[in-house]
Structure formats: structure tokens, C-alpha cells
Structure 1
Amino acid sequence: MNPGPVVVLAGGVGAARFLRGLVRVVPPEDIVVIGNTGDDMWWHGLYIAPDLDTVSYWLAGQADESRGWGIRGDTFTAQAAFARLTDQSWFQLGDRDLATHWYRTGRLAAGVPLHQVTAELAARLGVRSRILPMSDARIETRLETDAGDLHFQEYFVRERWRPTVLRIYWTGLETANPAPGVAEALAAARLVLIAPSNPSISIGPILRVPGMRQLVGAARSRTVAISPLIGGRAVKGPTVELMRAEGARPDALGVAELYRDLAAGFVLDTADAALAPAIAALGYRVAVRPTMLDDMDSARQVATTALQLLWQPAAA
């Protein structure tokens, strides 16, 4: 299947699992990933970009699929040594993973913009698709909780998403723009896919970059969103909790409501089939199918469904 250029708005693990199926359906060179950087953080002098790295490792065939993050077969010798020196070692970095962060940090310190560093890393990993950060600007996803003000990684990793979230907000947006290449990729895309990522803290930050929502909205007629929820539950992580914190309905219909001005197609799981008529009433073309991304084949089938919802090959 070759519909032409395909752009994917992507978070971390859910998007990465989806992308491993998409690259089996669409030539990898025709895929552009616009990745979330709201999770990025400085960690003991290193610049960490969790979602960009997760997508890169999965597309490179190097991901630790059992964890969902990191590099398969990585060791944690440096992490163990660091933990003996400080109690601030809650963010786990494998030894090979550290090399990625050292490289990125050094290049950023030399004045190289994030989009270029991301491209360099992807090329060195052997990734054939193009991976773009949503912005070169430093944007942070932060949460006001009953345990205080937290960076998303503090909430998600250190606190294991136990605090009650009162508000989600972002710093750095006021000076941000879409990264170079983002606007051009969206304008040229034959199809745009919103990956099955958390709409609040994975897709949400991308869409909040000034000008981004307008760019995606201009491609609405050729955009398909895939629900990250199955039966009103997240496969992993605090999607439901964070949607509630933003006042959104925490189910597939709620996700569809968030994207109604951005997408014309919507894929939801069979467990949520009863919501399909209400989603169609929002103006979507709807596909109902199993969306659990258990393996390569299931990811390929979900990707195929999403592509065929708004695109059909020309007759021979």
C-alpha cells in the first residue's frame, strides 16, 4: 500500500507500537513522525527526550518491547553505580541509552537545534522514516497535583501517577513554533494519522504549539484518529485520569470530541462499538475493529484500517 506521504502525530509507547505496524504497510521513507517533546527534561545534566527516543528505538528494531521503553538487552551498570551516590536516581537510564542522551546533550550544547539532532540520531540508528520534534523550543508538560507542582516525568515515573491531578499546563509555549519541516510535512501529507496516544499529555502538547492546530486542521479531510482507549480504559498509563483532569469525557467518544475539528476519520475498538453512532454524529467516518496492539500483525491491521478509512488505491 502506498498512499503517498503519511504524517503521524505521536506520543511514546502506544504510538511506537502503532508505527511498527504502519511501516509494514507504507514505505518507511514515506512516513513523517511529529513527536511529543512535552515530556522532555534535563536530568543531572543530560537532555532526555523520552517519546522521541521511544519512537526511534522501535522504528530501529532496537526497543525493549517487554518494558515498552529503552533498548533491548541494555544493562544498567551506570544506573546502579549512580544510585549508590544519590537518592535522586528514580529515572532509569540503561547504559546504551545513556549514549543517546550524551550525544543529544553535546550537540544541543554546540548550538545544533533539536530537529537536526533528532534527525542525526535517527539516521545513526538506521531509522528510514523522518522523525521531527513538535518544536525546537523547550516546552514542559507540568501538573498541579495534591502532592504539589510536578513535571510530567515526576508524576508518571517517580510518583507512579498516584497524586490527584488538579490541572495540566505547559511552560514555554509562548515562544514556541512548529519545528522546521513540520508545516511542510503536514501540507504535503496524503494522510495524517493521530496515533493511539494519550490525548492529554502526548497529542495535547503537539496541538498546543502555536500554529499547530491550524496546520492539522487544514488537513482535516485527510486525517484519521485512533482511540487509545479500549472499553473506557487505557492499555497502560493515566489516560483516563488525565482526560478527567481536563474535563473531557474519558472514553472513545470523549477522544473523538477532542479531535472533531482536526480529523474526518476515527478508529475505535470493538469493545466501544456502542459509541460508534455518537461518534459518527460528530461528522466522522468511523471504523470499528480490535485495536489492541499486541504484536506486529495486530499493529499492521490497525494501521491498514486507519489508512483505508479515508484512502482507497486508484483503480488500475
Structure 2
Amino acid sequence: MRIVVVAGGVGGARFVRGVREEVQRHRPGSTVDVIVNTGDDWWLAGLRIAPDFDSMLYTLSGQNDEERGWGRVGETERVSAELHAYGVAPEWFTLGDLDLGTHIARSAWQRAGATPSDVARRLQERWPLGVTLHPATDEEVDTHVQLAGDSAGEVRELHFQEWWTRYRAALPAARFVQHGIERAVPSPGVLDALLDCDTILIAPSNPVVSIGTVLAVPGMVEALTAEAAPIVGVSPIIGGSSVRGMAEACLSAIGVQTDAAAVARHYGLRRDGGLLDGWLVGLEDATAVDALESEGFAARAVPLWMRDLDTSAALAAEALDLALALRP
């Protein structure tokens, strides 16, 4: 089976780890390709930072700091302290020394002419990941946040990282903008992975700034839906709350309720020009299944909490089983 996952962020990384575990345990011979959000990427202190890709890289390689949920295990932060002292990096964004090694390598390769896809391949050569990671696009399309409530018609805009990390999404957002998105195309690895794939899974990542940014790449939705492979999504909302992070603030900005069924409707039904064939909600949202089924979604209520490797693999199995049931 050829499996493609669209993902971003820490929750996406944990889901992909569960998919890998399920494949290794019960679906030998299967391959897993991951389309990773690049909208959170940015330049800092002359270095190209790719938070979602690196979360995937560290989680799948066993290098992730599980207690903090991000960064490398056993980190020190001496270099970041020096960058703060020199005023070339903000104090609200700290990079670990081991993590900086990744950013320096990435930036050196890109300045030498490598594309983000080239860099992704080189970074993955260091550790056996069991999956293949692909940046959604090789173009720079960093996400910015336009804030609500500015006076005198002025629009205040922040890079997503400042809004998310410094302000913890507390500043009301009016809209999210990916500068340069109009010139972006899916990366070559994305298109190759989708060719003749058997199943496409939408991870329980932020629907707006992670999955939404991937889907905003021109040609991406068409590439995802061009194949006969069923597309099954996993809700990032359980019982009216986001599983991780501050997705509520993002959903509110685009007028979508923080609700599992509302997110499915936001993605849309594939047969009606949207994205999804199937949708998994949590047991806490089981009452939404009948309504979603009546609208044409193949919906199931299953345990969504990824508490450990076993529960993550079980969730992946539910998503894959639903996709297999939907195959023509």
C-alpha cells in the first residue's frame, strides 16, 4: 500500500509516527510519504528555520524532546543566549544548540543552490525515519497574520511565528496571508508521491495554518483529488476543543466553529468539489456521525487521543481501515 499523509506541527508528527508504527506492525511492504507544511518557515538570524519539517524529523528519528514537545532532546541554549545578547534574535524565540546545527546545514545548502526538497532529502539521510518527508512546496510562502481591530484603516501584520510564539495567538486575527503563494507549486516529491497512491490521510493538524496552507498551494487540491485514492481526515478537535495548540484562534478568524463536524464541512466533501471522502471524530463527538453521514461523509467515531505509541498506531489503523473500505 502506498500511503500519503498531509501534516504539520507536533500533532501531525505524532500521527505520522503512529502511521509508521501501524505499517511496521501490520502492513508490511507499505510505504509512507508525508507532505509537510512549510508556511511556518521563516528566516531568523540569517538562518532558514522550518519548524514543522524539523518536528517531523526529530519525532520520527527519536531525537525529539518529548517533555517539551518540541526541539531536540538534551538541548543546551548557549548560542541562543549570545544571539539574544547581540540583538539578532528575539528573546521570545529560542533555538537550541543542536537544533541550530540543523538550521545552519539547511541554510548553507540552500545558499549553495539546493532546493528545499534537496535539503529535505539530505537531512533524512542522517537517521532511518521509516517514511519519506516532502516539503509542500519549494517556494517561500511564509504565513503572516493580519490583526483585527486596527484603527485608522491601518493593517498590522505579523509573521505567524511572532503571533503564535510571542503572543500565544492572543491577538485577534483578521486573516492569514501566505506571501508569494501565487507563484508556488507542489514540490516534485509531492507529485511523485501522489502518483498512483492508494490512500491519502489528512492528519489532525491545525486546519487553518498547517493543512490549510498546504491546500492553498496552487494545484495542490487538484493533485490530491486527481487520483482514485480515498481521502480520510482525522479531526484535530475533540469535544469542542483543539487537541493541541491554539487552533481555536485560527478557526475563529476564518469563521469556522471549534467543532469536529464544522472542520469536516470546512474541508468539504470531495464529490461536491471539496477534499474529503471520510472523517474520523472522537468518541466525545459521536453524536455528529449521523449528520455527517447524511451529508455524504463516511464518518466514524473512534478514540482520537494519541497518548502513546500504541494509541497513535491504533488511530492510524482506524484511518487506514476506513480508507480501505472506501476504495473503489
CA contact (8 A) 2:198 2:229 kept: no
Q: Aligned residue for 1:102?
A: 104
AA at the equivalent of 2:280: V
Q: Are the structure 2 counterparts of residues 230 and 32 from structure 1 closer, same or farther at C-alpha, using a change threshold of 3 Å?
A: same
Q: Aligned residue for 2:56?
A: 55
Q: TM-score, normalised by structure 1?
A: 0.94
Give 1:81 deviation, angstroms: 2.7
The answer to whether structure 1 residue 116 and structure 2 residue 118 are counterparts is yes
Where does 1:149-228 land on structure 2 (aligned, <5 Å)? 149-219=157-227, 222-228=230-236
Q: Are the structure 2 counterparts of residues 89 and 29 from structure 1 closer, same or farther at C-alpha, using a change threshold of 3 Å?
A: farther
2:186 is paired with a residue whose SS is: coil
Q: Aligned residue for 1:139?
A: 141
2:113 is paired with a residue whose SS is: coil
2:295 to 282, 303, 306: 282
AA at the equivalent of 1:189: C
Give 1:247 deviation, angstroms: 1.6
Identity percentage of aligned residues: 39
- Specify every segment of 5 or more residues in structure 2 that has no aligned partner in the other structure, as ranges: 151-155
Deviations 1:238-269 (A, max 9, x none): 21121121122321111111222212111110
CA contact (8 A) 1:221 1:264 kept: no
2:253 to 245, 248, 267: 245
CA distance in 2, matches of 1:171, 1:157: 20
Q: Are the structure 2 counterparts of residues 248 and 201 from structure 1 closer, same or farther at C-alpha, using a change threshold of 3 Å?
A: same
AA at the equivalent of 2:299: V
Q: TM-score, normalised by structure 2?
A: 0.90
CA contact (8 A) 1:220 1:264 kept: no
AA at the equivalent of 1:103: A
Q: Aligned residue for 1:34?
A: 35
- Specify every segment of 5 or more residues in structure 1 that has no aligned partner in the other structure, as ranges: none
1:96 is paired with a residue whose SS is: helix
2:92 to 90, 110, 125: 90
Give 1:127 deviation, angstroms: 2.0
AA at the equivalent of 1:76: E
Q: Are the structure 2 counterparts of residues 197 and 180 from structure 1 closer, same or farther at C-alpha, using a change threshold of 3 Å?
A: same
AA at the equivalent of 1:301: A
Q: Aligned residue for 1:264?
A: 277
Number of aligned positions between the proteins: 310
2:316 to 303, 308, 311: 303
CA distance in 1, matches of 2:165, 2:275: 31
The answer to whether structure 1 residue 24 and structure 2 residue 29 are counterparts is no
AA at the equivalent of 2:18: G
AA at the equivalent of 2:160: F
2:241 to 233, 257, 268: 233
2:126 is paired with a residue whose SS is: helix
Deviations 1:259-293 (A, max 9, x none): 22212111110111111112212312112111011
Q: Aligned residue for 1:79?
A: 80
CA distance in 1, matches of 2:292, 2:103: 41
